[in-house]
Amino acid sequence: MGFILDCSGRDSALITLSQGYGCTVSELEKVLLGIDLEEVFKADPYIPISANQLLFEHTGSLLGEPDQVTSAVWFHGTRTAANNQFLEGILPLNVAFPAVISMLADVAPSIQVGRRLSDWAKSGVPDRMFMERHGSSLHWGPYASLVREVQLNNEGTRHHNYSAMPELVEDVCNAYLDLYDTDLKPHYSAVLKPRLIWFTAPPNSPQRCIEAALAYAYMAVRHLPPDSCSNWGIDRDGIAVPFEDIIRIEDVL
């Protein structure tokens, strides 16, 4: 028997984790508050496992092994046109490129800029980082975070802020700046809207999924924001997220 992990908020993370462990929320909170990871590693800095693994083992020793995570809610950060409803799903970078160029051309600051960008849909973006990302399936994604707050607390979690400016849009803007000495980033920051796209999918690694959720819950019960231990997510390895798996499109304020 499995369970669906939902880290869209602190309460939902604690509730779904407690379901996975077959315990009450208060029992899980007691276990998480019963260990101080900082003190443990201070006492023995040579512990051969990560803080996430240690917390997972500690929780399992008191609550037993959790059920399998059959699916989880994921959070894909982006900045896109206000009317984009992702009817084709969330596309990997190599497939999304023509649609992104078309979107940028449609809302370009001038007809000339729009025409120049449209030309790049055929020739490719003259930018080294674009060519590296577009040319290697290792960079295609789509990617998403397990913990929603990770996307909203980028400094603390060391997570790239994709809702500020997606990497593909950055590549286009950097190339245009180099070629035409015009910075398009302020314009696109103003006309594109930051979004979090919620979707469901099985995790690549069920145990690491639970480990990251526990790390988030560990900070939550201490009323602290998530740290880098919660910064874990999913790589779709070039496979699009189908529209039917999208459960919400959230505007980020």
With tokens 């480990």, the residue in question is: 211
Structural domain includes residue 151: no
Alpha helices in the chain (DSSP H): 10-21, 25-33, 37-43, 51-63, 93-106, 111-123, 128-135, 148-152, 154-157, 167-180, 185-191, 206-220
pLDDT of residue 168: 85
Structural domain includes residue 21: yes
Report the DSSP beta bridge partners of residue 250: 196
40 and 85 share a domain?
A: no
pLDDT of residue 165: 81
Residue 233 near residue 149 (C-beta atoms within 8 A): no
The answer to whether the bond into 142 is cis (omega within 30° of 0) is yes
pLDDT of residue 156: 63
59 and 10 share a domain?
A: yes
Angle at Cα 160 formed by Cα 193 and Cα 192, nearest 5°? 10
Residue 235: count other Cβ atoms within 10 Å of its Cβ: 14
Distance CA 202, CA 121 (A): 33
Structural domain includes residue 157: no
Residue 218 near residue 36 (C-beta atoms within 8 A): no
Sign of CA pseudo-dihedral 215, 220, 223, 225: positive
Pairing of strands 233-235, 143-145: antiparallel
pLDDT of residue 157: 63
Structural domain includes residue 213: yes
Q: What is the pTM of this model?
A: 0.90
**Angle between helical axes of 128-135 and 93-106 (0-180°, round to 10):** 140
CA dist list (Å): 105 to 79, 95, 141, 190: 15, 17, 23, 15
Eight-class DSSP state of 66: P
CA dist list (Å): 15 to 5, 11, 153, 163, 217: 9, 6, 22, 27, 10
123 and 175 share a domain?
A: yes
120 and 183 share a domain?
A: yes
226 and 177 share a domain?
A: no
CA dihedral 173, 166, 185, 251 (to 10 degrees): 150
208 and 173 share a domain?
A: no
State the 10-residue block means of pLDDT for the chain, 253 residues long: 93 98 97 95 90 96 96 95 92 88 93 93 83 77 93 71 80 93 94 95 94 97 94 92 97 86
How many alpha carbons lie under 13 Å from residue 9 in its C-beta half-sphere?
Answer: 3
Structural domain includes residue 98: yes
Residue 237 near residue 214 (C-beta atoms within 8 A): no
Query: Which range marks the domain in which residue 190 is found?
Result: 75-138+162-197
Pairing of strands 193-201, 246-251: antiparallel
185 and 224 share a domain?
A: no
